[in-house]
């Protein structure tokens, strides 16, 4: 019988080792290497889990695959930039952001960044 208990999302990357380093060492998430598959499981502080898998000929998602809610986007952007993460990834014609990549109009304060595979992630206030 179908049920939703334990549901989780996942996304592809082109380099599992680079993903493990970025999500574990750079962002500080708990990353588990799933021995039976070689996939990665990202364990989120909320209790959720995200599956990360390698895909030949990977093309980055053109949408945000993982959002990190934060109390203070400004502080989160400062922290990410100190870790070497670029947060200004969009041309202002696409999304009007300030020099640090923070969009201040049309919704919550939000800043996007990319993982090593080019997938889009975000920090958003609220």
Please count the structural domains in the chain: 1
Which tens digit of pLDDT belongs to each residue from 53-87? 999 999 998 899 999 999 999 999 999 999 999 99
Mean pLDDT of 19-37: 95
Give the whole-angstrom CA distance, residue 50 versus residue 38: 14
Q: Does a structural domain hold residue 108?
A: yes
Q: Does a structural domain hold residue 119?
A: yes
Q: Does a structural domain hold residue 18?
A: yes
Q: Does a structural domain hold residue 45?
A: yes
Q: Does a structural domain hold residue 3?
A: no
**Predicted local confidence at residue 12, as pLDDT:** 97
pLDDT band at 103 (very low <50, low <70, confident <90, very high): very high
Q: Does a structural domain hold residue 60?
A: yes
Give the whole-angstrom CA distance, residue 50 versus residue 91: 29
CB atoms within 10 A of CB 77: 22
Task: Domain of residue 58: give its range.
Answer: 9-125
Q: Does a structural domain hold residue 66?
A: yes
Q: Does a structural domain hold residue 2?
A: no
The rounded mean pLDDT for the chain is 93
What CATH code is carried by the domain that includes residue 55? 3.10.180.10
């Amino acid at each position: 019988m179908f049920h939703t208990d334990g549901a989780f999302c996942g996304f592809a990357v082109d380099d599992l080792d680079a993903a493990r380093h970025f999500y574990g060492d750079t962002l500080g998430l708990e990353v588990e290497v799933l021995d039976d598959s070689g996939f990665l499981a990202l364990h989120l502080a909320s209790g959720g889990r995200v599956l990360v898998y390698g895909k030949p000929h990977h093309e980055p998602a053109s949408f945000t695959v993982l959002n990190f809610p934060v109390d203070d986007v400004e502080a989160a952007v400062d922290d990410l930039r100190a870790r070497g993460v670029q947060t200004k990834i969009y041309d202002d014609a696409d999304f009007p952001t300030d020099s640090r990549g923070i969009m201040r109009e049309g919704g919550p304060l939000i800043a996007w960044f990319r993982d090593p595979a080019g997938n889009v992630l975000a920090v958003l206030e609220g």
